[in-house]
Structure 1
Amino acid sequence: MQDCRILITRPEPENTLSRERLSTHGWTPVPLPMLEISPIKDTDKQAFIRSQVFDIDTYDYVIFVSKNAARLACEWLDECWPMLPANVHWIGIGQGTTQTLLDKDVPALSNPGHTTEALLDWLRPAKMRDQKILIIRGEGGRPELGNKLEERGAKVSYLSLYERKKPHYLAQTFFMLPDINLIWVTSGESLLNLSEYASLYKPEWKALPILTPSIRVNQQAKEMGWINASCANGADDNSLIKATEFQIGKQND
């Protein structure tokens, strides 16, 4: 299993970065993104984004839900804010998202966990009342975080910077792939798209070890028929690599 072939379903550009990390471990990454991330191009929507970014200093907290949200937001911040406002608390959900912000000199904090649920546990209810919070995400993101914060008395706004689309693959794509030993999936939406394709073209994949980022997504995987799903406790490369090493160790025993 040292030459483990791992299917990487992250969207680009993160897919390429993960493959580079995996190669240093002597494993063979196999790219098959299960989401396409497209920055918002509509001119009216871009004008709205720009106005919200210019007003970002009016918020107490700015929360980034993904690495793509962080990456695209940093481009807008560079355009609108030569110096970041000092009164804002910048928060990334998960270590990978937070590191993306830190790499762009945004002084972000991350909760000890890696999920929306962990962030809610970390943000004390008493501190949220009357706080203005901006959640930066993709269009159609999960509403749970914002709803829970509003229940605690926060004033929540949203800023959507990208669209998520299901990639279009032909049957030939799957027939030309090498044999896979293990699968990385990093979101519930990617899991759904992968499951649909697997049911059509690669039903045998559902018996393979598949690593998921959270307990919630792991439960979804089991409900979709993935019989060997394990939670990596994070969508970042470090968490998934650690879980991969554990899986390989089990199979080598």
Structure 2
Amino acid sequence: MEASLPLKNKWIVNTRAAHQAQPLTEKLRDAGATVINFPLLEIDAPENYEDVEHQLSALEQYDLAIFISTNAVERTLDKVDVSTLKKLKLACVGKKTGLALKKHGLDSDFCPERFFNSEALLALDAFQQFIPGKKIALIKGEGGRDLLQKSLLKWGGDVDSINVYRRTCPQHNLALLKNHQQRQELDIIILTSGFSIDHFFELADKHSETAVANSNNKSNENNWMNSVTLLLGSERLKSHIPDSFKGKVIFAEDPNDDTLLKELTIDNKL
């Protein structure tokens, strides 16, 4: 029975956006974990939505549409008919994004089989050969890395970014997590994007500054974070971890739910 519940008595924080957290939460609970849902990401409409709608209305003019995330797929198909996308070549950065397209009856022409990120897509020979001279719509959220766009331009692509959503952080402090940690009810926090990591540490700094201002015990306020273990969605995300963090950090190969679960169970990193 214990082997079938490898995460029994473990408290794990799921920081995925609320509308995307349930599948991972269910997998963790099925493995015996107690899950704290603490979304650090919320998906909102872009501020210049009229401009984005205008860009999407001209999507037929492109040779290739690249989707950076499942959110990019869903936000686009809220405004664009499937028949329009069927006229284009489609690319995505990972399996979940490809499945989001498949749900709407669309197949991705370029999708990495593992290591689901921009680097993996750029490494595909067929993708590289297709790019020169093509008009490309890079469909994404506001901000994020510019690696993909820079590479496409370098290879001779004509690239337009279409930012169909923006990321915001719905949390205002880390008091809930600190309270769990003080009750020994916090083993690991899962962070799967640079945005989530950045805002996690911004909230940590804010919480520490507020607490220190109202406390004579500065060391305790600064040290609670260092007893926390972080599971990151890929090793490239380690650049978002500040040097001041002294807690344990472990990495999954990619941010997919099954890969995260494997890192916690089969590899027994807790």
Q: TM-score range by the shorter chain?
A: 0.7 to 0.9
Change (3 A) 1:161 1:132: same
| 2:39 matched residue in structure 1 | 33
Q: Secondary structure at the match of 2:164?
A: strand
| 1:111 correspondence with 2:131 | no
1:46/1:250 CA distance change after superposition, 3 Å: closer
Aligned to 1:74: 77
1:50 to 34, 50, 53: 53
Q: Distance in 1 between matches of 2:238 and 2:173?
A: 27
The separation in 1 between residues aligned to 2:104 and 2:180, in whole angstroms, is 36
Matched, 1:4 2:5: no
Distance 1:221 1:246, change over 3 A: farther
Q: Which residue is equivalent to 1:89? A: 89
Say yes or no: does 1:192 pair with 2:198: yes
**Amino acid aligned to 2:28:** L
Unpaired runs of at least 5, structure 2: 1-6, 209-220
Shift of the alpha carbon at 1:97?
1.9
Aligned to 1:98: 98
**Secondary structure class of the residue paired with 1:13:** helix
Is 1:214 the counterpart of 2:234 in the alignment?
yes
What's the CA shift string for 1:94-153, capped at 9, x where partnerless? 222222222222222421221111211125534311111111111123222101110110
Aligned to 2:132: 129
TM-score using structure 1 length = 0.85
Q: Which moved more, 1:89-98 or 1:131-140?
A: 89-98
Q: CA deviation at 1:64?
A: 1.2
Shift of 1:176: 4.1
CA distance in structure 2 between the partners assigned to 1:176 and 1:75 by the alignment:
40
Say yes or no: does 1:180 pair with 2:182.
no
Q: Which amino acid aligns with 1:215?
A: E
| Alpha-carbon distance between aligned partners in 1 of 2:240 and 2:190, rounded to the nearest angstrom | 14
The Cα offsets for residues 165-208 of structure 1, whole Å up to 9 and x where unpaired, read as: 23342454334446211111010111111123334357434443
In the alignment, structure 1 segments of 5+ residues that lack a partner are none
Deviations 1:57-88 (A, max 9, x none): 222221111222122122222xxx25244331
> Which structure has the bigger radius of gyration?
2
CA contact (8 A) 1:222 1:229 kept: no
Moved more, 179-188 or 191-200: 191-200
Query: Residue 4 of structure 1: CA displacement?
Result: 1.8
Moved more, 236-245 or 172-181: 172-181
User: Are 1:115 and 1:214, in contact at CA under 8 Å, matched by a contact in 2?
Assistant: no
- CA gap of 1:190–1:29, structure 2 versus 1, over 3 A, is same
Q: Which moved more, 1:106-115 or 1:5-14?
A: 106-115
- Alpha-carbon distance between aligned partners in 2 of 1:84 and 1:210, rounded to the nearest angstrom: 42
Q: In structure 2, how many angstroms separate the alpha carbons of the residues matched to 1:68 and 1:223? A: 31
* TM-score (norm. length: structure 2): 0.80
Distance 1:61-1:130 versus aligned 2 partners, 3 A rule: same
Aligned sequence identity (%): 23
Letter in 2 for 1:50: E
Could you say if the C-alpha distance between residues 125 and 52 of structure 1 is closer, same or farther in structure 2, counting changes exceeding 3 Å?
A: same
Conserved? CA contact 2:18–2:42, under 8 Å: yes
Distance 2:174 2:261 in 1: 29
* CA deviation map 1:209-242 (0-9, x unaligned): 3221222103433746254222211112111111
**2:260 maps to which residue?**
240
Q: Distance in 1 between matches of 2:227 and 2:106?
A: 42
